[in-house]
Structures are given as C-alpha cells and as structure tokens.
Amino acid sequence: MSHYHQLTAFDRGRIEVLLREGLSMRSIAKEIGRSASTISREIARCVGSTYEAEDADQKHRL
C-alpha cells in the first residue's frame, strides 16, 4: 500500500513563500512535513523559471 499523498495547492503555496524567504529544500520539507526529495521534484517542475505555486499546480493537473 502506498503512503504517497500528492501536494496540495496549499502545500505549493507554502513552498513558493518559503523559497522566497530563502529556506533550503530540507528546511521547507521539515516545515510542511514532506520529504526533501518531494520538494526537490516539485521545484524541478518549474525548470528555467522562478517557482510559482499556481503554475506548478496547473502543470500538475495536466
């Protein structure tokens, strides 16, 4: 049984805010209760641009 839970729009918003505040991926992961690899993959979703929660959420829904 998988224990994976997809990031919510709220999680993505928190990632965006915490990145802008200069937190590391590991610090963000601790803050929102996810693994650092989950945060890394989520940020990588927006290669070539600044991470924006709304864009990431739209890409996720595709």
At which residue do the structure tokens 């739209």 appear?
58
Q: Residue 22: left if φ>0, alpha if ψ -120 to 50, beta else—which one?
A: left
In three-state secondary structure terms, 27 is: helix
pTM of the model: 0.80
pLDDT by 10s per residue, the chain, length 62: 556 678 999 999 999 999 999 999 999 999 999 999 999 999 888 766 788 888 877 777 66
Instruction: In whole angstroms, give the CA distance from residue 19 to residue 35.
Output: 15
